[in-house]
Structure 1
Amino acid sequence: MLKKRIIVCLDVKDGRTTKGVKFQNNVDIGDPVDMAAEYYAQGVDELVFYDIMASARGRGPILDLISRVAERVFIPFCVGGGIGSIEDIRSTILAGAEKISLNSQAVKNPSLITEGARVFGNQCIVLGMDAARDAGAPSGYSVFINGGRVATGLDALEWAKKAVSLGAGEIVLNSIDADGVRNGFEIPLTRMIAESVPVPVIASGGGGTPQHLADVLSDGPCGGMADAALVASMVHSMGYTVGGIKEDLRASGIPVRM
């Protein structure tokens, strides 16, 4: 059985790591470079770095900050926010990222997924998707962009399938409803997407205890079937460490890299 990954997310605003609830009321919680180095030391499998204001402000990635993070960690490092062209992808990779997350820009310009995958490989192009419950959507969930501020009218399941067909090699699936609430991941959404696409799905939004991760990573009949779980609040402010989370997951029968 493939090992499940634990990924730490650093949401960055104005050069500082920040955390909010349902994409609102974000507060400063530290320096992203130092935090990245600490989580690397704790044994995290990957890091995800999101510039949460770049798309809304219409600017590109902060290459200097990306470079400084990349100098401190030696694990896969994914960067998202404000990446709107092949040139942006190239410069971000040259700054030290291994993967590029396309979220708002993927919706606005789907051909960027295809072109990015053609030039840099499918494994490099990650679809970031922010989804919220929507009774009017065929799947029950719809897609939002610009940090959850703008409704797209896209159905979450259909968009996931389309993005993979265009070349996305992985999906970071974030539940807006669960984001920062710490009551558990959105299992029905995660399982629906994971069952429907042939690429890894990373569950994001809602992690508050190791059991929440065990639930979303489980391939059992009530599990989320995610290939990886993304955490933020748990390790930023709730006293958990990456190593401790992995120990609990292993005890629960979830295969993880120790």
Structure 2
Amino acid sequence: MKKALLLLIATIIFSCKTESKRDNKVDVTLEVKSEVFPMELGKVFQKHGGINIWRKAQILSFNKGKEIHTADLRSRKTVINTPKYSLGFDGMEVWLSEDKKGIFKGNPAFYYNLYFYFYAMPFVLADDGIIYEKVDDLVFKGVKYPGYKISYKENIGTSPDDNYIVYYNSETYQMEWLAYTVTFSSKKPNDLFHMIRYNKWEVVSGLVFPKEITWYKMDESGLPTEPEKPATKFTLPLLSQGKIGASFFEKPIK
């Protein structure tokens, strides 16, 4: 699927990989406009490299297993390429292309940007149309993690009723946990939160992105207890100020 374009992306990632590995420091000197979001979240963004670097970037790419995820950070057009299928969002509609019908298991409209959001935390929490609300600390093994709830104004995205809560280290401001709800199918708000732990990171072109994330089981009070399944790992990260042509995000013609 899209072999020529896959080769292009692989070449870009390879050529930029060496540069990314040399990034051993994060520039946290850039100013953050505190009036846009709470000051504490501003410090979280700064800990992860700074919101200004994020806003200058054009393309974000990473691998999840055999999936190559590539997103245009301005338009949020997205493509997921694998050896047997590809799917994406071309700016107008979500599409799926398979070598054989039924290979992809799931809903393309739900899946195409799912891991982009998990991977691009905490920076996607600075998108337009967001409402911030301070919440009670999360307590895990005696450690308190302050948090902010993120909700969306009406008609923002495909699931405006989704809620996220980002919890961070009270001393370092490193993001540590993400709680989130899923309303894609029901289209109704709910209080059933899922919990992900972020505890392995790497620096990519000046920003800090997760190397892996782990879903946790939760007790009756909604607190995390133990890992629910093995960690999801990310590889070959790329953050670039370059651009990719619009045709890359279109459904391939067979």
Common fold, TM-score beyond 0.5? no
Normalising by structure 1, we get a TM-score of: 0.32
Considering Cα pairs closer than 8 Å and 6+ residues apart, tell me whether 1 or 2 has the greater RCO: 2
Greater share of residues in helix: 1
TM-score (norm 2): 0.33
Structure having the larger proportion of residues in strand: 2
